[in-house]
Chain A
Amino acid sequence: MRRVVSTAVLLATTFGVAFAGLQAGAGNLTAAAQQKPDMTEVKIDNFSFGPAELKVAVGTTVTWTNRDDIPHTAVSTDKTFKSKVLDTDEKFSFTFSKPGTYEYFCSIHPKMTGKVVVQ
């Protein structure tokens, strides 16, 4: 049951993003530039990235926030992005401009891994 619900949420999110994209495309250039870009959050909590796997549209900005009492990083294995060390409540943002699968990890605690799929 949980799986069905989360798939439904994911679908809704995907459609929502696609719809927003269409709207931006239809508007004039100034309006599109003024529009707030798509944003998604990853929370770092209990030595894990949540959600561990994220699907976003091209152009989305992902923000990682460290909620642990211990510093962490978010570093992609192909070096596309690399956060500075994030102490408690510090954030790191990266805008994904190219489609692809970006695997990343915490370079301090490498057992912590995550993935951003950009479509």
Chain B
Amino acid sequence: MTAKSKDELLHDHNHDGVDRRGFLKCMAWAGTGAFCVMQGGVLKSYSMSQMSQVASKVTAGQLSFVQISDSHMGFNKAANPDVVGTLKAAVDKVNALSTPAEFMLHTGDITHLSKPEEFDTVDQILKSATPKDIFYVPGEHDMLNDDGKQYLERYGKNTKGAGWFSFDKKGVHFIGLVNVLNLKAGGLGTLGHDQLEWMEDDVKHLKSSTPIVVFAHIPLWSVYPEWGWGTEDSAQALAYLKKFGSVTVLNGHIHQTMQKVEGNVTFHTAASTAFPQPEPGKAPSPGPMKVPAEQLKSVLGITDVNYVHGQHALAVVDSSLA
């Protein structure tokens, strides 16, 4: 066995693309530099140290894009007094990617308090990003006080309802969802009837071989309901995606990277560009986590996603800002 094959997991007993050992290994790496890729329905995982070996083969896909999340412009507490600086560092990271990103997704909490000047600052900083197209979904911090009116004025062009939409890029179908409005006491994130109905219709006529990327702010899987880290009606949304062979779900909200594979669906959460939050249940509350200043950039980051046409491969790579 070569050194390389030790880190490739090719067992697929259920033919569902999930290997228990591979899944656990991926989980263990999450947050420290995991690289997991679906290829021909088989989950392969590599450590970041082997990235150079696989980079040319796997990551040089036909579609490369970047996810950034939770910029919280306007936040100025101890956990990060300079969210402008760290967002700029994230943009620098995006601009330095070896495979240039064609566009960016921002998975919400663009601002901390939905203030016009906070949105303006983010827009200004993101202008220096190489990818010119940026697709947004809102976080709860972007729709404070006005049920999203201002957000929709800024980013709602070509969207439906509270800001949901879909688009296609090189054969991949992207669906941006809004799960931060009309939250009920005691509950989790919510998509709501209208959005679910739209989504069912949106994917109905797609071929099952179409790779799907769903992105939304609050995780669409139950990360930690005790802290509200989940979405009430996400099961319904995922049910509409059962026929598809490759589904990648990208979320933010929890300010840390995490990955989970369930059948045909790979769930992934991105790091924040502003401040980290504790691991589920590891603190009294999910509030901003203060780390020593010199460590801050190592717990913030961007997510780089590559799709290789014909291989059903979506490679999700997290890089810290350090």
Does A77 reach chain B (CB closer than 8 Å)? yes
Does A12 reach chain B (CB closer than 8 Å)? no
* A70 and B288 form a contact (CB under 8 A): yes
* A69 and B77 form a contact (CB under 8 A): yes
User: With the chains together, A71 CA to B145 CA distance in Å?
Assistant: 12
- Size category of the A interface is 20 to 34
* B288 and A110 form a contact (CB under 8 A): no
CB distance from B74 to the nearest CB of A (A): 9
User: With the chains together, A111 CA to B225 CA distance in Å?
Assistant: 9
Does A80 reach chain B (CB closer than 8 Å)? no
Does B227 reach chain A (CB closer than 8 Å)? yes
Select from chain B the residue with minimum beta-carbon distance to A104.
B185
Select from chain A the residue with minimum beta-carbon distance to B283.
A46
Does B286 reach chain A (CB closer than 8 Å)? yes
User: With the chains together, A46 CA to B226 CA distance in Å?
Assistant: 13
Q: C-beta contact mask, B219-262 vs A, less than 8 Å → 1, else 0?
A: 00000011110000000000000000000000000000000000
Does A96 reach chain B (CB closer than 8 Å)? no
Does A88 reach chain B (CB closer than 8 Å)? yes
* A105 and B113 form a contact (CB under 8 A): no
Q: Which A residues have a C-beta under 8 Å from some C-beta of B?
A: 46-48, 68-71, 77, 84-85, 87-88, 103-105, 107-111, 113
Could you list 5 further interchain pairs (A-B, Cβ under 8 angstroms) beyond the known A70-B287, A85-B145, A111-B186?
A: A46-B287, A69-B77, A71-B141, A107-B183, A111-B225
- Of all A-B residue pairs in the complex, the 8 with the closest CB atoms, nearest first, are A105-B185, A46-B285, A47-B285, A110-B183, A69-B77, A111-B228, A85-B144, A46-B284
